[in-house]
Amino acid sequence: MKKILIIVPDGGMLFESAGIADILMHANQLHPEGLDRPRYHIDIATTQPHQVIHGQSGLNLLADHRIHELDPRAPLDTIIITGRGQTEQEGTAVVDWLRLAAPHARRIASVCGGAMLLAQSGLLNGRRATTHWKLLETLQVAFPEVRVEGGPLYIQDGHIWTSGGVTSGFDLTLALVEEDYGFSLARDVAQDLVMYLRRPGGQLQFSRYSLRQNSGSGPINALQTWILENIAADLCVEKLAERVAMSPRNFTRVFTRETGASPARYVAEARLAAARQQLEQTADTLDKIAAQTGFGSSINLRRIFEKQLHLTPGEYRQRFHCRKMA
């Protein structure tokens, strides 16, 4: 029997931890014949001095343990951290306990902002990792020794697993079940719970397209606005530099410093964002969208989508289009 400890900081989304526990418990209930004991024993631990975990929805969860009462040297199969907590003190309590417990656990995993605590404990040093797309840049800046990746729903690097935001923890949990007991059990759990064992679309977590916007009022800020309004124009570095009366070399240096992205990368992100928006909100053909967003042809549009988002424009539209799309 594998002992699983789920650490749930206060003030988060409780369905993350509840969903993970339900997936593991369902794995216990399927094909029980021949089992002398359940596959998983699951405990919930809180970071609070009491056993009530308050969720951001107003609902509460009763924990089995308070983390400060647990012996970190006790052997565990898997430790799962479902968030980073609301206060620095709460996060530090988890990190301090985790540093002591890590050598005694076979596997450690995080969901969403829990990756920040794994990084703080040093467990992600030199490893590939992911987190919620809103925290990717924060994780990379705060912990440059971590190899942060923004695409996958979850990443396994040795015995450390990290997952993206919210429901990606369910994908990770099914992967843990598959690693522990094989494909057939994980598939049966997924089918019973009406889940994908592996989601279509390259297992990608989709961020909202929020382009970096310089907060000032200088020429670079004005140029960013012009780019977004003229996305189909010739946006090569030379043309953009000319608009702000700079040499291409100096323009690239200044633009990158003020926006955090090179001109070429910013244009590419802007065009991809514009194409995603049109696929979501219009019924325009792919050729028309490609022309309006600077990709030129539907072939180029498809190539960029497959490279960046791991699915075709048509698949993206099917997943994200407005129900009352014109």
Picking from 116, 179, 170, the residue whose alpha carbon sits closest to that of residue 148 is 116
| C-alpha distance from residue 17 to each of 124, 156, 218, 290, 300 (Å) | 22, 19, 46, 42, 41
Q: What are phi and psi of 96, to 5 degrees?
A: -60, -45
The residue behind tokens 């479902």 is 82
* Burial (Cβ within 10 Å: 0-12, 13-18, ≥19) of residue 4: buried
In whole angstroms, how far apart are CA 288 and each of 73, 276, 281, 283? 61, 13, 14, 10
Which are the catalytic amino acids? 112
Residues 6+ apart with CB under 8 A from 114: 7, 80, 81, 82, 83, 84, 131, 162
Q: Two tokens at 322?
A: 């407005």
Q: What are phi and psi of 38, to 5 degrees?
A: -60, 155
